[in-house]
Amino acid sequence: MAGEGLTAGAVARRLGVAVTTLRTWHQRYGLGPSEHVPGHHRRYTEQDLDRLQVMRRLTAQGVTPAEAAAWAQRTPLTVDDVPPRQARDGGGHAIALGSVEPAARGLARAAMRLDASAMRDILEMVIADCGVIRAWEEVATPVLIGIGERYEATKRFVEVEHLISRTLTEVLGSVRRPDSSVPPKVLLAAADEELHTLPLEALAAALAEVGVPSRLLGARVPPTALAEAIARTGPVVVVLWSQTPTSSDPDQLGRVTALPHPPLLTAAAGPGWPATLPPGVLQLTSLNDAVKTVAAAVR
């Protein structure tokens, strides 16, 4: 690219971040394109790209964007020169995580700071680098479980739980969906009184990544509404999520398999379902397992 510079779109693709993220880093932290080509938008040079790479890696590790930008401004330093960050940002409010990916620690710290834009940056980068399944299983899940345990022990941090949930919904929802000319054959719904939907949102995004479109009804779907949706859309696969035993009645699954035109595959997902399910219902155990099983059923 000598002498030509890179456009924002090209830099975004190289880094695996959204163009809007680049724009934010430019506006807030001055990490913009420095090459001026008369009559054109400014272009990114190799040195700009090096800076942005430092920014990207550090924010993915949980360093605050402002601090990461300060390091990035000091290039030709590279990421490997930056000492690992030891300080806790939670101000004593850290979430116990055990042994997890650095990005999960970063996400937990950003969640405790109520820093939605840092959470978004971390999640978008992990999805771009490693895909939805790894981002969900290795980064989001340990943090969500940690937040749940923290809530159970203290009855605090509901605001943290809500903000990370909202951010996950946004990020998972922004994963590119397959071409709309392909009609969805997969119906995803939460059980009757179930408010927990994030695992289904992760499933919809992970299926989209492998080219499988789905229809996600969301939280608290009563049996009659589910039967209506099945009758009207004729799905090949129905996945019903239950997070807690109180939110779900296994009869709801039995009612799906007993429909006049039941789906080829009726699956129960989530820890809320009992070990014994109605005949003909398959239990899905992980996001990875769900993506493989559902994708195989529709192909």
Q: Which of 6, 122, 207, 269 binds ligand B12 (CB under 6 A)?
A: 269
Maximum pairwise Cα distance, the chain: 70
Restricting to residues 96-125, name those near ligand B12 by CB under 6 A: none
> Per rule CB under 6 A, is residue 194 in the interface with ligand B12?
yes
Which structure tokens are listed for 143? Answer: 């943090």
If the CB atoms of residues 230 and 269 are measured against ligand B12, the closer one turns out to be 269
Q: Which stretch binds ligand B12 (CB under 6 A): 25-33, 87-95, 174-182, 264-272?
A: 264-272
> Per rule CB under 6 A, is residue 171 in the interface with ligand B12?
no
> Per rule CB under 6 A, is residue 199 in the interface with ligand B12?
yes
Measured CA to CA, the distance from residue 240 to residue 248 in angstroms comes to: 10
Distance of CA 299 to the CA centre of its chain: 25
Cα–Cα distances in angstroms (integers) from residue 144 to residues 25, 157, 170, 172, 296, in the given order: 27, 12, 16, 15, 29
If the CB atoms of residues 32 and 278 are measured against ligand B12, the closer one turns out to be 278
Q: Which of 8, 103, 147, 253 binds ligand B12 (CB under 6 A)?
A: 147
Q: How far is the CB of 271 from ligand B12 (least distance, A)?
A: 5
Cβ(256)–Cβ(268) below 8 Å: no
Burial class (CB in 10 A: 0-12, 13-18, 19+), 95: buried
Sheet architecture: strand order including 281-284: 215-218, 186-190, 237-241, 265-269, 281-284
Q: How far is the CB of 195 from ligand B12 (least distance, A)?
A: 3
Distance of CA 179 to the CA centre of its chain: 20
Number of residues in contact with ligand B12 under rule CB under 6 A: 31
> Per rule CB under 6 A, is residue 198 in the interface with ligand B12?
yes
Question: Position 71: which residue type?
Answer: W
Q: How far is the CB of 179 from ligand B12 (least distance, A)?
A: 23
Distance of CA 135 to the CA centre of its chain: 6
> Per rule CB under 6 A, is residue 247 in the interface with ligand B12?
yes
List interacting residues with ligand B12 (CB under 6 A). 141, 144-145, 147-149, 151-152, 161-162, 165, 193-199, 202-203, 243-244, 247, 269-271, 284-287, 290
